[in-house]
Structure formats: structure tokens, C-alpha cells
Amino acid sequence: MVRYFRKLENKYLVSGPAPLGRILNYIKRVKLRQYRTSIRGPRVRDRLNLDDWTVCFMVGIGLLEKPIYSPTLKLRLTKNGAKIYNLIKILPNFPDNLFRAKFDMIRIKFNLKSQNPDIYNSLREIFLKSDAMKNLAIFLQIKGKNKIKKSEFKEFGKIFGVRKAWFNRVPSVLQIAQFCDILEENGRFIRLYDNNYIRDFTIASSEEAARNIVKEDLKEIKEKERKPKELDEDEENFLRDIPTNLVPQKRKVVVNLVKRNLRIAKKLKRLYGGKCQICKFTFRKRNGRKYSETHHLIPLGDSGSDSIANITILCANCHRQLTYAKVELGKLRANKRVIKINDVPKEIEYHQTHLRAIGESDIRV
């Protein structure tokens, strides 16, 4: 069995509650020396007071050096703490409300992903490399399930000597994990998204993490509808159109679009005989069917519509180019749309039946 990281005392590895906004605000305060007391705790009514729970947890996730408690307490940022300070120093203070900690964290994640994705990715990488987060991953690895009751996290507290108040302490770790898109707290359960990280601490890109979240949503819906849980080829292809800055507010929209688009995609593939609308390439799979992929000209997560006008049939190579290269879309004229891929002009050619359906659609691309 994998052994837990215990380089620090238990209180540093699971101490909490420590809202994400408070952690980020404390980084600024420590750097600027805007604190003055070692008598810390949430009940001390002092504007410059730093609460002990948050300070301990910041040591555990590698943002503060382990403090020496004295009347003239001095806190120092680690290299990672200083790196985060340089990233966030010009940003306004983050929301910090103990009783709304989960909602504040979701708001912080939303704002950073949409407005400061580089800062979000840097924070995510630092958090996931910390011993506190690795210990959580080891615990989840031992549990060996993708869905866990929140009450089971009492066991995690006991491992580190926290036999009481587990509900106060463990959520600090869970909140950071949810910020990093490793898991999600939902009612009485915790649902896991990134099994690679849980298995071997491999940090996936935020783009891959976003796709994992939507993939799990799709699987859950299919299971409720008594359909095969695993995603088919078209569903996997649609997930490639999800952008890196997917945010929680758009998840349900994206999932519903994918579900509705599948029927359209299958009809269009038959219409084009599996051939790419740009280069006309296709090949036969082992089952004899011709291979092609579906692509949204405007990605689903970027407010792309579920209209037939937004869907094209492509080969794998052209699909990757339209997904990752610099693309300029021209107007649809006659039966062709001129596009530029990295400034190189190409054409998307449309079948007349596809054109008629686009003409009957209320949405134009």
C-alpha cells in the first residue's frame, strides 16, 4: 500500500477550514507584513489577525514556511508562495466568507479561468504538487471508487490524527481539489474526474480536465437513460470542441448541445459518405465503415449553436487544424465557405441537402 507523506505534523496536512479566497489574500498580507499577532483564531476580532487554521493549511500546501511560534511571529512565503504573490499582487482581494467558502471558490475559479487563465493554470500546478494534495490522492486511490460518500472522509481525518471536527478540516483539501478540477462535491457525494492524477500524480492540462468533467456528465446522463455508459466515437469527437476556459456555468449547456447534435452528426456523415468537406479524404475502419469526425465551426463552449449550420464533417487531420490552428471563417456563398487556416485559404464544400437545411435554420454562422 502507498505510504502517506508525513514530512510535517498532522495539523499542517489536513488543517482547516481555509477558504481559497482567504489563502490567496493571506499570501499578499504575509508578503506585505500586514499582520501583527500570534494569537490567532476565527474568534479574535482583529483586522490584522491571521487565523491559525489557514496558516497551518498554507504550510501544508507549500505556500508558507513552517512558522516558529513566538510573541513576534514571523511568517515567510516559500518559493511557490512568492510565485503566486507575483501573479496575484495586482488583482483585487478575493472573496472570503467562511460560510460561503464553496461558492466563493467556484466564483474565483470562474473569474480566473475566463479572465486570467495563466494564473489559474499556475495555481493549479502548484496546488497539485503539494504533499497535502498528494495525500488526498493516495486516500482516493486506496478507496478505488469514482463516487464516494462525503462521510467517508472521516477516515482521511483519522489517518492524520484528526478524530473530531473532520467536517471542519477535510473540506480545505476538498475545496482545493475541486478548484483544480480533480473532483466535485455534489450533495452527499464526491465525484472524481481525474483518475490519472489520483493514480500517479500526473497533472493533466486544464483543457483535458474540462473535458473529463463534461465526459463524466455525459456518462451519468446515459446511465440514467439506460444507454451504454461509455462514450461512442461521435461523442468523443464533440468533446474536442470544448475550449480550455470551460466554466461550470456552461457545463449543462455543452452537455445538452452534444446530446442534441449527435443525431444531426450521424445524418451528415451518411450524407457526405464519411468524406471530409475540406479535403475529401476518408478511410475504411476494420468494421467496413468510412471514418470521419464532426466539428463545430464555433465551439460549443464558446456559445456555439446546436444548429446544423455550425456542424461540418471532417477528416481527423482537418479537424485538428480547425481546432488548434488560427482559423478565420468566411461567409457561406453558393455551396462553399472560404476559410483561412494559419493564413492559408481553403474551402469547406457543402452538399445541397445540407445547404437546404442551413437555409431553413434560423441561425447563421
Coil, strand or helix: which one is 243? coil
Amino acid, res. 273? G
pTM for the full predicted model: 0.73
Q: Tell me, what's the pLDDT at 204?
A: 82
CA distance 34 to 48: 6
Contact predicate 65/76, CB 8 Å: yes
Q: End-to-end CA distance of the chain: give it in Å, rounded.
A: 55
Vertex 78: Cα angle to 139 and 102 (nearest 5) = 50
CA distance 116 to 93: 15
Average pLDDT, consecutive stretches of 10 residues, N- to C-terminus, the chain (365 residues): 76 78 94 73 60 86 86 86 96 88 89 89 93 90 87 81 58 88 85 88 82 79 78 75 58 71 85 94 91 84 71 92 89 90 94 89 64
In sequence order, the 6+-apart residues with CB closer than 8 A to the CB of 258 are: 214, 218, 235, 238, 239, 300
Instruction: Tell me the Ramachandran region of residue 228: left when phi exceeds 0, alpha when psi lies from -120 to 50, beta otherwise.
Output: beta
Q: Tell me, what's the pLDDT at 168?
A: 53
DSSP for 135-188 reads HHHHHHHHHT-SEEEGGGHHHHHHHTT--S-HHHHHHHHHHHHHHTTSEEEETT
CA distance 91 to 89: 6
Task: Identify the CA nearest to 150 among candidates 117, 173, 124, 126.
Answer: 173
Residue 116, CB half-sphere, CA atoms under 13 Å: how many? 17
Q: Tell me, what's the pLDDT at 156?
A: 83
> Domain ranges in the chain?
10-204, 210-360
CA distance 104 to 92: 14
Q: Tell me, what's the pLDDT at 245?
A: 57
